[in-house]
Structure 1
Amino acid sequence: MKKLQDTQVMLHPNTRVERVERSVQGVAVYFNENGEPTILKGTHLLVATGRKPNLKSLSLERAGVEYTADGVKVNEQLKTTNR
């Protein structure tokens, strides 16, 4: 997430989106963040919902790939623990 923030991508985790409006100028997102109603306008919108990976059937431990309930462990270059 740090690399995204360094490129001026705005992240708003754990927010509740009330509505999204599209216009000629782009999009407006109306959401509630920390109890405060907020409007964010921009040219692009990425919506990523909370999902849990289903890794158990992949036998990653046999390949030497470490993982947690959140997903595959990677380093700052997004490399796994498999060498």
Structure 2
Amino acid sequence: FDFLHDVNKKHKEFVGNWNKNAVHVNLFETPVEAQYVRLYPTSCHTACTLRFELLGCELNVREAHLRQGAGGREQ
């Protein structure tokens, strides 16, 4: 697994909501292509739970393949 990094090259930390009724949205700064996503909770305060919904779109495989040259690098 690879960590996402912020602009300072530190592991990106996404902050959650502060109460049980609020919805908090975090967005990726750049698109992420992944088969799996792993979460590492870093703190917890009173009656902790984790709700997580990852929204995205399907990758257009043909378009991505056409953009890649030898070695799978974008051109």
- Give the TM-score range, shorter chain: under 0.3
* TM-score, length basis structure 1: 0.26
Higher fraction of strand? 1
Larger Rg: 1
Higher relative contact order (CA 8 A, sep 6+): 1
Length-normalised TM-score, structure 2: 0.27
